[in-house]
Structure 1
Amino acid sequence: MLKANIKIKNFVLGLVLICLFPAASINAQVVVDEVIAVIGKHIVLKSDLDNSYQQYRAQQGLHGSEQSVKCEIMEGLMLSKLLLHHGELDSVEVSDNQVSQSMDMRMAYFIQQFGSEKAMEEYYGKPLDVIREEMSEMVKEQMIADGKQREVVADIAITPSEVQDYFKNLPKDSIPQINSKYEIAQIVRTPVISQEVKDEVYNRMNSFRERILKGESFETLAILYSEDPGSAKKGGETGMTKRGTWDPNFEVAAFNLKEGEISEIVESQFGYHILKYVGRRGDYVNVKHILLMVKPSYEDIAKAHTFLDSIGNLIRNDSIEFDLAVRRFSDDPGRINGGYVINPNTGNSQFREEELDPAIGFTVKKLKVDEVSAPVAFKNKDRKDAYRLLIIKKKTLPHKANLNEDYDQIQDWALEEKRQRAMQIWAKEKITKTYIRVNPDYVSCKYNSPWITK
């Protein structure tokens, strides 16, 4: 019961991805759509519920009856709209640049799932830029709802005694089975880009700048050549963006521009840019830019692979210890902490099996504890090509959850339950101040909050 409830509640608060991206393995059914709930000025459609239910079943299997799962998803959809409604009333800020960055990540994920841009376009029957445009408004709405939810639970904390009470009160038959946990470390080598490659990209950008200064259209060159997918199709325009959002070098150049001015070439963590002023309001600025990314050559990449391969052989031959090799040779900031890979969900170095990034999981599941992998290609946190050696430092066997081995996990469950109670209190109060109408077909659900007024 514990895992099912939390699983569904967490699932329904991230429904934008599901509604926008039905699993490719599921054939979309043609249905006559209808409004099944109205929350303030926002609506929930039957297709939202059906798509979400299908995706839940695909991901989580046959846990719970169709009616009970659909009722929980329905409540999650209504809660998301309630958060959106009050997020808009309370002016929760989401910039165009934040939406663009989120869309970049989502589109990359979608394309990866479909296998190619062409496959995704064929599935939806639309060009990629049209798909992106249609998704952007819904993504912005979800980001506003998420922002409001974060506000509601921001001050919720939990004490060790509350964690112990939570676990003590769990029915014995509801204590979850914990899958294997991993602690993984890495030695990272990012290819060193040769000066020749940098100069080539810089000179190409300089030629664009000279063409613009001679009268060519900045916007046309951005559409044709900029490597920022979020802004290129809009002539390079970023939209009004708050100070503190961008790469520092890019931001300084953007805020120093004057009307009609084209910047000098600016180097950021992403590559080389030229910027054009659009407008500014206080701590917000809107510019157009062209980005050319500086990418390592084949030779640069091969050198990084060869270097790590030699380090791996030294470790396997006991010529150097892994921990020492991390400190000496890894160029990842995490080397100061022994090279441990940090779980973004928990902030510590432990990963449940299901939390492993597929790219890591595929490699480490073949390894024994303390066995070093071959060099593995990946994208680092700056989305740059790199290689890494992986090693399992520790692995636990599957077992029933207990406070000694799984305190962090149990603490997360207890905190999640406390946050859910806080959300229910918030929802109960806001429901009384919001126009709500629920389709009669869904009034018999046993909701946690009073969505149905007698």
Structure 2
Amino acid sequence: MFFIGNTMNFAVFKLLEIREIQEMRKTLGILTGLLFFTLVQVSAQTKSKSLDKVAAVVGSSIILQSEIEMQYSQYLAQGNPADPAIKCSILQSQLSQKILGQQAIIDSVTVTDDQIDGEIERRLRAMSGRAGGQERLETFLGRSLIQYKDEIRPDIKEMLVAQKMQAKITENVAVTPLEIKRYFDAIPKDSLPFFNTEVEIAEIIVYPKLSKEEKEVFHDKAEVLRLRIKGGEDFATLASLYSQDPGSARDGGDLGFMDRSGLVKEFAATAFKLKQGELSSVIETEFGFHVMQVIERRGEQVNVRHILIKTEPTPASLDRAKAHIDSIYTTLADKKMDFGAAATLYSDNNETKYNGGMMLNAENVQSRTTFIPTDKLDPQIFLTVDTMKVGSISKPSLFTAADGKKGYRILSLKSKTGPHQASLDQDFPKIKEVAFEDKNNRTISEWFEKRRKITYIKIDAEFQTCPELAGWTTAKN
């Protein structure tokens, strides 16, 4: 996370590159196994050198050269070309984080131990997944995860405090329609981007529901495994062999530390009720049937391992779902109910049903935009809506979701915007988003400009030629 000291004009850049940026973020979030292993090894080696040169002093804090070198090693491990100038941006980011942290102390901005533990566990789960398990990760780190957690804890705490402080600085930032218009009008007309065809789509999804008798087959499979564990067989081994949760099966069913918000309701209720080492009865969630065991409890977080047996639709349950969605289609076709109301009442997709069935752009979920470029649509959906007219609905069709669940779906094409150059009328949500981000950045920049002037900052001579750090030094040499 880099902070900028000078106000940047994001107008043309953001509008021209909005899709490219989304692809970049997606790409940068995925490291290959080889790059990940290099990252871990280089980071560990760099840290072990404990370089003691002070790169900068910020108020009562110091930034060591070793910290900059470690982040630069991570940059190289991601496959980027060698570029020592990147160290300037790294130091700028660390300076900013220190200033935010010091202001957080003044403003009593804090984070809880649970939040720190949660972030550490989230990172370690991702790292373990890329490394191929906890044991392999420890091998690459050259230390136990307990040691590694203790090492990174201060840095994680500082990062979370800085993020919370930055959020506080911008919590009241908003943009008015007039500000959005002024922002758009300031963009040179010959620099306005060209957008491809975009659509707004609403959906109603009906998943097959199993009867009690149909569920028993899957319940019994989970119960057999529970009895084998109770009889003395190893939980982790059985989870590796039989659990249908691919994310945890390879780790012996271990989910790592999680709070209630990260678990479905039924699962959380049982997980936080069990004692350490206690085996649960078979429980049912939307994912199927689970057997779980608590490994450790820490405050409002629990480390659980589980075995999941997924339920599969039977031919009879699919027939019932088809009959149900056919009746919904008839109601819509006869104009007896609005599509949005029907979605709220009947759809089984909790992500869209409370939004009138409107699908969100998966490439830009944070902005909650409903405008989706046709080249980003699921191929099954594109083939359906490509020939539809605006305002029409599709006939129910069988589909398979990304998680493998089968169901029936009705689509409604709400709007379709042809290829065009950006305009305020057609692209107001996009322009609002980048105008808001620009104002956020200016707010942060202005805040830093004031804080830097009253904070003691001394930067080592090696970094004083960095363009990014011009004007940061306040200490007299």
TM-score, normalised by the number of residues in structure 2: 0.64
Q: 1:362 to 1:401 in 2, by over 3 A?
A: same
String of CA shifts for 1:160-189, please: whole Å, max 9, x gaps. Answer: 132233223222323333433322122212
Q: Is the 8 A contact 1:185 1:339 kept in 2?
A: yes
1:158 aligns with 2:181: no
* Secondary structure of the structure 1 residue equivalent to 2:210: coil
* Secondary structure of the structure 2 residue equivalent to 1:250: helix
How far off its partner does 1:148 sit? 5.4
Structure 2: gaps spanning 5 or more residues: 1-9, 33-41, 47-54, 57-62, 105-109
Q: 1:84 to 1:311 in 2, by over 3 A?
A: farther
Give 1:175's aligned amino acid.
L
Partner of 2:305: 288
Q: How does 1:408-427 map to 2 (within 5 A)?
A: 408-424=429-445
* Identity rate, percent: 27
Q: Among 187, 196, 201, which residue is 2:218 paired with?
A: 201
* Secondary structure of the structure 2 residue equivalent to 1:275: strand
Q: Aligned partners of 2:281, 2:308: CA distance in 1, in Å?
A: 13
* Secondary structure of the structure 1 residue equivalent to 2:262: coil
How far off its partner does 1:338 sit? 4.3
Q: Is the 8 A contact 2:287 2:310 kept in 1?
A: yes
Larger Rg, first or second structure (1 or 2): 2
String of CA shifts for 1:72-116, please: whole Å, max 9, x gaps. Answer: 9995897499769989x9766362797389859x98xxxxxxxxx
Q: 1:329 to 1:310 in 2, by over 3 A?
A: same
How far off its partner does 1:310 sit? 8.1
Partner of 1:230: 247
Q: 1:79 to 1:379 in 2, by over 3 A?
A: farther
1:263 aligns with 2:280: yes
How far off its partner does 1:416 sit? 1.4
Partner of 1:99: 122
Partner of 1:60: none
Q: How does 1:173-188 map to 2 (within 5 A)?
A: 173-188=190-205
String of CA shifts for 1:231-269, please: whole Å, max 9, x gaps. Answer: 323322222322333112211211111244211222122
Give 1:163's aligned amino acid.
I
Q: Is the 8 A contact 1:260 1:277 kept in 2?
A: yes
* Secondary structure of the structure 1 residue equivalent to 2:311: coil
Partner of 1:25: none
* Secondary structure of the structure 2 residue equivalent to 1:261: coil
Partner of 1:377: 399
Q: 1:352 to 1:345 in 2, by over 3 A?
A: farther
Give 1:152's aligned amino acid.
Q
Q: How does 1:264-343 map to 2 (within 5 A)?
A: 264-297=281-314, 300-301=317-318, 304=321, 308=325, 319=334, 323=338, 327=342, 330-332=347-349, 334-335=352-353, 338-343=356-361
Backbone CA RMSD of aligned residues: 5.5
Partner of 2:424: 403
Paired residues in the alignment total 412
How far off its partner does 1:357 sit? 4.9
Q: Aligned partners of 1:434, 1:229: CA distance in 2, in Å?
A: 49
Q: Is the 8 A contact 1:80 1:145 kept in 2?
A: no
1:4 aligns with 2:13: yes
* Secondary structure of the structure 2 residue equivalent to 1:244: helix
Q: Aligned partners of 1:142, 1:203: CA distance in 2, in Å?
A: 44
Q: Aligned partners of 2:251, 2:457: CA distance in 1, in Å?
A: 37
Q: Is the 8 A contact 1:185 1:338 kept in 2?
A: yes
